[in-house]
Chain A
Amino acid sequence: MSLQTSLNDSNPSEPVIDTSESDSSGLNEQPVINERESQASKGSTEPSADKSGEAKLEGFKTRDRSRSQESLSAPNKSKQMSKPDSKVSADPRKHKLLRDRDLSIKLAVGAALATSSYYTRVNVGLSATSSRGLGDVTDIDVLGLKYDLTFNSEAIAVSCKSGNSKSLSPAREIFYLRGVLDYVRASTGVAAFLNKPISPHLRDLGRRLNVLIFSGDEVELWCRSLTNGLPDPGYFEESAFERYLTTWENNSVTHDLRAYLRTDYWFHLDFRNLQNVIGHLRKLSSKVGTSCEWLDVVVLDSAAHLCLTLFDLCHQIRMMGLTSIIETTSAYLFGGTVSFKARRDLYLRVQQLLASTGVLGSGGPSLPPLEPLYTQALAELAIRFIERPHAAIIVPQVIQDSIWRRLGSQGMPPNDNKNSLAAEKLAQDVLNFLGIATGANWKIKV
């Protein structure tokens, strides 16, 4: 590891991974669906579409319209999926992502998972677009994450396909999903084929690979079973989702952060995300001084992402013991004890060298500290999470709820039980920590 790299890492103003050459599209320009997916989507508009499949979905309205008809008094009613609508996809006013033919099913599944207390992301890109030259890899249509009390994640990845062309091979999708599941350490995989007939041997294949295979009706039943008895918070409504996308895109200052969260974050999903997200937010804070509506969403979304990495840190601390929390936190920021010690040794050698040559001395310049200045605050946040695991593990969901409320959704009904209150408080602690780490004066409230 070069000295420059080492010092760059220690410089909290710069992200660890340079995303300057990253996919400049982020959520807007780059087509989100990959090539394989595009083929599948194209297939859905082909004239050979399975009429019976479409007939099954014929009665569904778009989610927004269905929501207007739904009310909290009918909580058991599941989200309804709109059938692929060529008019919708052709509408040039719509956001590019909203022209994705699988979007309605993705949103419906996302809403069901989010309502059943998963932290949910739609169109999760597994791509590193840094200067190391890694290109687009793949993406997950819907990813739901939940954590247990020891901060181990339980993930569910869903692949949604509404096409029925010959090029869409369910077997290939299932194998592909298995690989993705292994990569994100997800326990459950769901492959939903809205318009594709599913033969029994495919279901057997799915069972062997621990992937649930659903047809159109079954997806709806599954979503209904997920949300059974729960109030409808209105997550992932199309209009709110569009507002979410435009919030990110309408501000060029968020470009780097958006690209990072869209791609590298999920590709790495490890210690690097802490310093990188903070570094990007620090850059943002230098451009946007005070809080505003769109910034709230951006910062909250970043905070929710940060929580997942924080859980990883908490898991490490629990394993190493609370007594060594500061050491574990420092080591985690550098990728583990071994690499941390190596960097610290290098740092000390450089310091000695510079001191012996008279560059550093009493009253003169000194090297910037190896560990970021927020290490102590990070450890403090981690201990708060570890001491209240029941509340901590729902912090990303609390933050996500706050985002949806800001985007016009109803959100979860207020709950004053101990865990909810503590989770709200911990979510606020995360935002306060971001304030300390970035030096921003945003004062955003959950």
Chain B
Amino acid sequence: MQDLDLIGIYEIAKLARVSPPAVVNWRTRFNDFPKPIVELKSGPVFRKVDIQQWLNRRKGESSSVGNDATRIGLRLLELECGIASNIDDQNSAELVDYELSRAAGQSARLAMLIRGQDVIEDEQRLKKIAAIELGIHPAEYTVAKRLLMEADLIEERTTKSGKSVINEKVNRLNHADNYRRVGELWLAGDNKSRKEEALIHTFDEVVQSPREIACVDAIRDLNRTDRNAVLELASNAGILDSVDESKRVYYSPLLWDVNRSKLAAFLQIASGTSFNEVLRKMTRPGTDLTRTQDPLILQAISGGILPSYRVDSTGGKRLYSFTPYTGGMLSSDTEKIILDKARALVSCLRYGSEAATITKIRNPLWILNALMNPSRGHRLSPHSELKLQYGMLVAKQIGRVIATNNGRFMFELIPTDDNLRAGAIAKELLSVGEIMGAKDPEADAALHLVSGTIEQPLREVKIARKKRPARADELADLVERLQSV
């Protein structure tokens, strides 16, 4: 075979360090995947050189992801949120090296704050709100404002009566565009320190899936001292942390809702690449993984790495899974419950639209809108399949099933604050997956949104302080210090 330079699925999988089913999946997913020279009963046969070229091209594409302006914009925002939430000393000397990144992050946060305002008449008031809500110092505000003007997200205008106002131009529908503009500014900036470049690019890689830090090019080139300083800052800000005490593999605790020890155990059996493949298969919130045979996926589901929801009704059992990525929104216990409810809602609605046999939902969003509508009493029209299909929602106290006289059932959302918020998040999960996901090439970025729906344009960018148990080495260090005192 080697002489003829021909290979099959298994050899490609070995070459790419993925599982054979992943290669089969590539053939259907990527139009540019090389065509086989012949299809035998045992499987297709490819020219090795074609496959090698394709893999190289694809590798090139994925490595250029780090330069994607939208994602960089998001990382800047998340870094700033992490620093603002988790680092008490905002004037620490260590933060001086990240000045441009912080200014860009602050401008992204400011953009989210003013989104939907149209005209800002009283800038002084905005300055105060930014100081209170986002912790942006007035001097920092000026820099952030300048960046927003450069990114064309705001403009100054004088009214006919001579009053100076600010026009807000922050995109309300295509959030990715706002991040892209901020990201582009940062990428174009030529006064970035090496440390901040390393931090942002590393963060961007690790946020996709846990990575061995030694394999991350962005940080590998730094000297040991700088590398440790970057990782320490990232750890303090809560955006990066090691999976285990060996500090070999890192993940993002701020954006991943996953148990650290479970993740460490999972990564013992799954290589970084294969875990990446698993995550790639999660094409949308609530991916149907009922029929998957991939042992790694099954392990990830059973190990709690991929939050999954089982729905059972006339169409049989279905399993809907989500990535552990939370977008940084939900990390407190209360909010975890809300996210759990939102995911349950999405799963039930997906079932209704994909698996239900009696009454199929045409558009899950319409059903969700009906449930959220107080003028309809938060109720759905009765049908016979509801009782089973929405059973999980009853168990989670999201709603109740009411029997009608003719043997049908109505589902009614219990309109508590938590449930309504869960509904709003579910709406966003569905709309991001179904509207932006289908139309926006930057849909991946849309999944990383930290703020809101169009009904709540002013919702503050909140990333709650991530609580994590102290590691053994930190405890030992603390004990040592106490003893020395």
Size bin of chain B's contact surface:
20 to 34
Known: A327-B435, A424-B159, A425-B118. A383 touches B172 (CB 8 A): yes
Does B468 sit within 8 A of A, measured CB to CB?
no
Q: Which of B1-9, B160-168, B181-189, B203-211 contacts A (4 or more CB under 8 A)?
A: B160-168
Q: How far is the CB of A415 from chain B (nearest CB, A)?
A: 8
Whether A425 contacts B119 by the Cβ 8 Å rule is yes
Interface size of A in residues (CB-CB distance below 8 Å): 30
Tell me the interface secondary structure of chain B in the complex.
Answer: loop
Whether B439 contacts A322 by the Cβ 8 Å rule is no
Does A300 sit within 8 A of B, measured CB to CB?
no
- Complex CA–CA separation, A327 to B363 (angstroms): 12
- Complex CA–CA separation, A100 to B111 (angstroms): 54
- Contacts of A315-371 to chain B: CB distance below 8 A: 321-327, 361-363
Q: Which of chain A's residues has its CB closest to B162's CB? A: A414
Whether B159 contacts A376 by the Cβ 8 Å rule is no
Whether A380 contacts B167 by the Cβ 8 Å rule is no
Contact of A325 among B167, B173, B369 (CB under 8 A): B173
Whether A426 contacts B454 by the Cβ 8 Å rule is no
Does B121 sit within 8 A of A, measured CB to CB?
yes
Q: How far is the CB of B445 from chain A (nearest CB, A)?
A: 14
Q: Which of chain B's residues has its CB closest to A375's CB? A: B439
Does B31 sit within 8 A of A, measured CB to CB?
yes
Hey, which chain A residues are within 8 Å of B161, CB to CB?
A: 414-416
Known: A383-B172, A414-B161. A362 touches B32 (CB 8 A): yes
Whether A428 contacts B167 by the Cβ 8 Å rule is yes
Contact of B172 among A321, A384, A415 (CB under 8 A): A384
Whether B119 contacts A422 by the Cβ 8 Å rule is yes
Q: Which of chain A's residues has its CB closest to B160's CB? A: A414
Does A387 sit within 8 A of B, measured CB to CB?
yes
Q: How far is the CB of A117 from chain B (nearest CB, A)?
A: 17
Hey, which chain B residues are within 8 Å of A324, CB to CB?
A: 363, 365, 435
Q: Which of chain A's residues has its CB closest to B163's CB? A: A416
Scoring A residues 232 to 255 as 1 if CB is less than 8 Å from chain B, else 0, what string do you get?
Answer: 000000000000000000000000
Whether B163 contacts A384 by the Cβ 8 Å rule is no
Q: How far is the CB of B76 from chain A (nearest CB, A)?
A: 23
Does B171 sit within 8 A of A, measured CB to CB?
yes
Q: Which of chain B's residues has its CB closest to A326's CB? A: B435
Does B116 sit within 8 A of A, measured CB to CB?
yes
Whether B163 contacts A376 by the Cβ 8 Å rule is no
Does A95 sit within 8 A of B, measured CB to CB?
no
Does A61 sit within 8 A of B, measured CB to CB?
no
Known: A326-B439, A387-B116, A428-B167. A321 touches B369 (CB 8 A): yes
- Complex CA–CA separation, A323 to B365 (angstroms): 8
Does B190 sit within 8 A of A, measured CB to CB?
no
Scoring B residues 333 to 377 as 1 if CB is less than 8 Å from chain A, else 0, what string do you get?
Answer: 000000000000000000000000000000101100100000000
- Complex CA–CA separation, A40 to B254 (angstroms): 78
- Contacts of B431-447 to chain A: CB distance below 8 A: 431, 435-436, 439
Give me the interface of A with B, judged by CB distance under 8 Å: 321-327, 361-363, 376, 379-380, 383-384, 387-388, 391, 414-416, 418, 421-422, 424-426, 428-429, 432
- Ordered by A's residue number, 11 sampled pairs between the chains whose C-beta atoms are within 8 Å are A321-B369, A323-B365, A323-B427, A323-B435, A326-B173, A362-B32, A380-B173, A384-B118, A415-B161, A416-B161, A422-B119
Going nearest first, the 3 A-B pairs with the smallest beta carbon separation are: A362-B32, A414-B160, A414-B161
